[in-house]
């Protein structure tokens, strides 16, 4: 299957700092990328959907000024957690959906996740 | 009511047992259905799609009942390596995936 990478895989930062997480589709072009957050013992919750070259669409309750998403190319999306606080500690997972012209029918591939701990 | 509901478990079963998970979804317009597996601290991975006619992949059998908006996963001859959280996932309008809360399975020797 297609490969999606995330970097870093884990990060510890101090409260008040910003953290950038990268999501890359390695062998396909991703028109759409998704960012999820998963707290312990809970399911994945969609934070936002980003389409290449346009502004991200945020889910209700997700602060767009706190979670900055940039999808500048068909293979890279970034999530920046600004002014991180301990309650932002979570497992952040990106997912990329391939271009519909690829022949595959809107398959969605997940990155390995980034574990963020804010102290 | 959650869009996709699952019993969180955990289901503790001995090796070799047969175990079944259920899932219900609220949006009757949902288009596609999947079971994902998620290991601790890892990303979810697609286990299998679920088709209306029911489908089987080795020890795993998935069933869909659109009238009841109900999805099931049956695992036969459980292995220790089957221990994981199983996520029921529904694709709806706009090709968006909605995840259930997951059912945790622990297979004991």
Q: Is the pLDDT of residue A104 over 60?
A: no
Lowest mean pLDDT among A56-60, A96-100, A101-105: A101-105
Q: What pLDDT was estimated at residue A102? A: 56
pLDDT band per the 50, 70, 90 thresholds, residue A72: confident
* Contact: A113, B101; criterion CB under 8 Å: no
Selection from B82, B81, B97, B96 nearest residue B21 by Cα: B82
Q: What pLDDT was estimated at residue B52? A: 87
CA distance B83 to chain A (A): 15
**pLDDT tens-digit profile of B6-17?**
999 999 999 999
Cβ neighbour number for residue B11 with a 10 Å cutoff: 19
Chain B residues in contact with A112 by the CB 8 A cut-off are: 42-43
Please give the distance of CA A34 from its chain centroid, rounded to a whole number.
6
Cα A16 to Cα A92: distance, rounded to the nearest angstrom: 18
Average pLDDT, chain B: 93
> Which whole number is the average pLDDT over B28-50?
92
**Angle formed at CA A50 by CA A47 and CA A53, multiple of 5 degrees:** 155
**pLDDT tens-digit profile of B41-63?**
899 999 999 988 889 999 999 99
Percentage above 70 pLDDT, chain B: 99
């Amino acid at each position: 299957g297609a490969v999606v990478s995330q970097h870093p895989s884990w990060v510890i930062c101090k409260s008040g700092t910003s953290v950038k997480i990268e999501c890359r589709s390695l062998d396909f072009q991703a028109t759409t990328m998704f960012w999820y957050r998963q707290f312990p013992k809970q399911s994945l919750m969609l934070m936002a959907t980003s389409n290449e070259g346009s502004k991200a669409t945020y889910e209700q309750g997700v602060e767009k000024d706190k979670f900055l998403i940039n999808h500048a190319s068909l293979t890279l999306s970034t999530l920046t957690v600004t002014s991180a606080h301990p309650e932002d500690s979570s497992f952040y997972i990106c997912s990329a959906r391939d271009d519909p012209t690829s022949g595959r029918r809107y398959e969605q591939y997940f990155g390995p996740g980034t574990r963020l701990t804010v102290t | 009511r959650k869009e996709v509901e699952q019993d969180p478990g955990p289901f503790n079963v001995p090796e070799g047992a047969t175990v079944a998970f259920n899932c219900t979804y609220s949006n009757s317009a949902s288009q596609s259905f999947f079971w994902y597996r998620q290991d601790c601290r890892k990303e979810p991975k697609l286990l299998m799609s679920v088709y209306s006619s029911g489908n089987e992949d080795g020890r795993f059998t998935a069933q869909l009942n659109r009238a009841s908006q109900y999805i099931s996963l049956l695992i036969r001859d459980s292995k220790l390596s089957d221990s994981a959280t199983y996520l029921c996932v529904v694709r709806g309008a706009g090709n968006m995936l909605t995840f259930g809360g997951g059912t945790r399975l622990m297979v004991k020797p």
